[in-house]
Every structure is written in C-alpha cells, then in structure tokens.
Chains A and B, each alone.
Chain A
Amino acid sequence: MARKRERLDVIRDILKAVRENRKIKPTRLLYASNLSPQMFKEYINELTSKGFIKLDIDKKDKKMFCITPRGNEFLEEYKVIENFIENFGL
C-alpha cells in the first residue's frame, strides 16, 4: 500500500505542478494535486500566504497560479528540509 503523503510532500507536488506548467489554472492544479477541493483550498491558501505561489490574472481575465522565487527556493531545498526533519525525528 502506498504511504500517505505528508504535508511537505503535498506542498512539493503542488509547487512542482505549478513550476512545470509555468502558469496553471486553479482547476488544472486541483487535478494535478490529487486533493479534495476542500484540502486543495487549504493548501492553496497556505502556499499563497507563505508567498510560495501567487495568483495572476491574465489579459483574458483568467486566473492563473505561478510560482514565486521563494517557492522555487523551497523546491530546491525540499530534499534538505525533508532529510533534516527525518534525521532529527521532528
């Protein structure tokens, strides 16, 4: 049985999906994140409040998520953070 995704894994998956697409619609990101709408909303609120992603509105008035430099930095350091948490039992 696959292990349950930890919170940091979910954040990584969402950020990866946003980065790979450069700009992504909220509905597409919801599918890519594999979360329930309620959980998705919670994570998105968290990620925007932490400044990892931002919501842009394009010329056609469509909402699109894109990754911020801070979000990129998190993805680069994700392995280190994960290793640290597991090695120190945090």
Chain B
Amino acid sequence: MYSWIIENKELLKIFYGLIIALICFVIVLKTNKLFRLSLHKGIRYFRNAFFFYGIAFIIRYLFGAFFLDNPNYYFVINILFEYFLVMGGFFLLYSLLWKRFESSKTNYNSSLFNTKIFLFYFMSFIIVFLDYIWQTYYFMFSSQIIIFVLASVISYINYKKNGRQHKFLKLYFIAMILSLITWVLNFLVASFLDWNKGVLTNVYLINIVIFLLFLYGVIKVTGGK
C-alpha cells in the first residue's frame, strides 16, 4: 500500500488538490450566498479564507502538476501557493477576531480589499519574501503555528461559552487543533525528518479531514440548500 502511494504520488497529489479545491469551492459558494444577504463581516472573512485556500490548492496541486519538470515555473507556483495559504490563515483567524477591530456597520466597497485587511496582504508578502530570501518555509510555518494557536484558543473559548447550544463549535475547535497539529508536523518534517513521505502522507490525510469538517459544518448549518 505504502509503495503504491509512493509510486503514484504525483497523481494522488492532483487528486488531493482537487478534493480540497472542490470543498473550498462549495464552502465559498454557500457562504457567499449568506454574505450577499447579510453583508456580515464574519461571514465575509470566513468565505475569503476558503477562497484563498481554494486558490492555493488549485495553484500548487493542479497547475503545479504541469510544471514539475520546469524548476522556474515550479518555483513561482510555490511562492504563489505559500502566499495564498498564508492569506487563508489570516482571514480565518480574522473571521473570529474582527469584532474587536471594526464595527459591523462599516461598509466597504470591495469584498477582498479594505484598509484593515490590506495589512494581511502586506504581511503575507513579507512572510513569502523572507522565506524566499532564506530559501526556507520557516516563516510560513511559524506564522501559521501562531495563527492556529490563537484560533484554537478563541475557538475553545467560543465552545466553552456557547457549545451547548451550537454543536458545531466543538467540531470547529477540533478542526483548529488538527490544523495546528498539521502545521507543527509540517515544521518538524521540514526541519528534522528530511520531508519524510510517511509523515507527509498523514499531513495530507489530516488536511482532508479538516476541510471535510468545515464542509460538513457549512452544509449542516445551511441545510444543504
């Protein structure tokens, strides 16, 4: 089984990217409908997070598959992947935090740009730039570990506060913990395990579980409409 996975890893990566991109597409579609009606900022940032995750996975695993033999293109693909992945993390965290920083009444002309979230674009750029300069992924790993530690704490507080009435808060907290675990594993694999394929396969599987958890929550709450 393991050797089969290794033999077909490029094909499986495409399949993996396709699954996550599809999940993101459904989540964006469903949350976009709720956002268009309510113009609620939390929904907007949540939707944006999965929009950027979707783009990241499409670029890395679907477009990336065509440029495996061309290091120049593959390098650009990796930079874009990292940039959109970091952006997704920022938006997901901010969807939990936005009430502390802005009023629900402020209206913005654009859904993806405003003066507040411009900071995310800038920070993501800095993170990608630093990784590029040092030829590492550590700035991305560190930023994502920090983001998901914070998101885990906030989602735990939300779960403790309202978990009895709103059942998905528990799964949300679990998804945040799993995300944190995958980023820590990514960091360990890159730092000490020489990109061990067995551990990486587990990271991919956990990632699918995380995205499926979100999809389950979105479909359950929106009633599959």
Residue in contact with A90 in the complex, picked from B37, B46, B167, B223, CB distance below 8 Å: B46
Q: Are B166 and A87 in contact (CB under 8 A)?
A: yes
Judged by a CB distance under 8 angstroms, whether A35 is at the interface is: no
> Nearest Cβ in chain B — how far from A73, in angstroms?
6
Tell me how many residue pairs across A and B have CB atoms closer than 8 Å. Answer: 69
In the complex, which residue of chain A has the Cβ closest to the Cβ of B162?
A86
CA distance A70 to B155 in the complex (A): 32
Chain A 69-90 near chain B by CB (<8 Å), digits 1 or 0: 0100110010011011111111
Judged by a CB distance under 8 angstroms, whether A46 is at the interface is: yes
> Nearest Cβ in chain B — how far from A16, in angstroms?
15
Judged by a CB distance under 8 angstroms, whether A59 is at the interface is: no
Q: Are A90 and B96 in contact (CB under 8 A)?
A: yes
Q: Are A80 and B40 in contact (CB under 8 A)?
A: no
CA distance A42 to B104 in the complex (A): 12
In the complex, which residue of chain A has the Cβ closest to the Cβ of B154?
A89
Residue in contact with B168 in the complex, picked from A7, A77, A87, CB distance below 8 Å: A87
Judged by a CB distance under 8 angstroms, whether B169 is at the interface is: yes
Residue in contact with A46 in the complex, picked from B31, B105, B221, CB distance below 8 Å: B105
Q: Are B217 and A88 in contact (CB under 8 A)?
A: yes
Q: Are A81 and B40 in contact (CB under 8 A)?
A: yes
Interface residues on A, range: 20 to 34
Q: Are A77 and B172 in contact (CB under 8 A)?
A: no
CA distance A30 to B160 in the complex (A): 37
> Nearest Cβ in chain A — how far from B64, in angstroms?
30
In the complex, which residue of chain B has the Cβ closest to the Cβ of A46?
B105
Interface residues on B, range: 20 to 34
CA distance A77 to B155 in the complex (A): 25
CA distance A89 to B45 in the complex (A): 12
Judged by a CB distance under 8 angstroms, whether A41 is at the interface is: no
Residue in contact with B221 in the complex, picked from A7, A49, A50, A80, CB distance below 8 Å: A80
CA distance A46 to B39 in the complex (A): 11
In the complex, which residue of chain A has the Cβ closest to the Cβ of B31?
A84
Task: With A80-B223, A84-B222 as known contacts, state yes or no: A90 contacts B40, CB within 8 Å.
Answer: yes
CA distance A87 to B222 in the complex (A): 11
Judged by a CB distance under 8 angstroms, whether B185 is at the interface is: no
- Contact residues in A for B225 (Cβ distance below 8 Å): 80
- Contact residues in B for A81 (Cβ distance below 8 Å): 34, 37-38, 40, 43
Q: Are A87 and B34 in contact (CB under 8 A)?
A: no
Q: Are B104 and A87 in contact (CB under 8 A)?
A: no
**Interface of A toward B, CB cutoff 8 Å:** 7-8, 42, 46, 49-50, 70, 73-74, 77, 80-81, 83-90
**Interface of B toward A, CB cutoff 8 Å:** 31, 34, 37-40, 42-43, 45-46, 95-96, 104-105, 107, 154-155, 158, 162, 165-169, 172, 217-218, 221-223, 225
Interchain residue pairs with CB less than 8 A apart (13):
A50-B39, A77-B38, A80-B225, A85-B42, A85-B43, A86-B166, A87-B166, A87-B221, A88-B169, A89-B154, A89-B169, A89-B172, A90-B95
